[in-house]
């Protein structure tokens, strides 16, 4: 059995996509959240996934006595320090074609940039924001008639398909 710890701070749509993808497999998923009222905690409860509410300052202590095969960031809005990254393999998903539009509001910045394409990147986590080695990318065309909400929907659809497949490949 493989064990994954998903880190999330928000609504948890990528978390849910990962859980659904690995349903009825030998992959055990747990959640670490750092925000009291995050939607991802409600999703975890509904999906019967063990979750931990851990303040960021206490994350190192929480992780030091546990072992997971893969640590998966899915909307976890904190930068992990080097010491934490030594616990294992950490991956992240980002809604742009890195190295373009690192950090927050990437979809909006891509939309307003005038570029004709953006996309989704899955990468290893290092100490710098969205700067680790890229594992996979998938492009998304920004159509001239698109609204920002259309692009956001398209990006999230790509994320929900790409991330679980990449995770599966990393667990093999």
* Parallel/antiparallel/unpaired status of strands 117-124 and 134-141: antiparallel
Sign of CA dihedral 13, 71, 52, 55: negative
Contact 29, 56 (CB under 8 A): no
Catalytic-residue membership of 94: yes
E strands, 95-147, in order: 117-124, 134-141
Residues present in the chain in total: 172
Of the listed 94, 123, 156, 160, which one is catalytic?
94
In DSSP terms, which residues pair with 92 in a beta bridge? 73, 123
Phi-psi region of 119 (alpha: psi -120 to 50; beta: other; left: phi over 0): left
Q: Which residues does the annotation mark as catalytic?
A: 94
């Amino acid at each position: 059995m493989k064990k994954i710890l998903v880190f999330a701070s928000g609504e948890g749509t990528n978390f849910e996509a990962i859980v659904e993808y690995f349903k009825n497999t030998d992959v055990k998923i747990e959640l670490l959240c750092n925000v009291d009222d995050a939607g991802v905690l409600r999703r975890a409860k509904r999906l019967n996934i063990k979750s931990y509410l851990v303040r960021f300052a206490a994350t190192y202590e929480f992780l030091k006595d546990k072992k997971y095969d893969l640590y998966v960031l899915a909307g976890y809005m904190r930068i992990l320090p080097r010491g934490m990254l030594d616990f294992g393999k950490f991956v992240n998903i980002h809604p742009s074609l890195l190295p373009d539009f690192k950090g927050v509001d990437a979809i909006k910045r891509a939309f307003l940039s005038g570029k004709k394409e953006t996309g989704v990147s899955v990468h290893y986590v290092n100490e710098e924001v969205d700067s680790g080695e890229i594992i996979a990318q998938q492009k998304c065309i920004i159509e001239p008639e698109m609204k920002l909400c259309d692009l956001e929907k398209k990006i999230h659809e790509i994320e929900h398909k790409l991330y679980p497949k990449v995770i599966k490949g990393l667990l093999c």
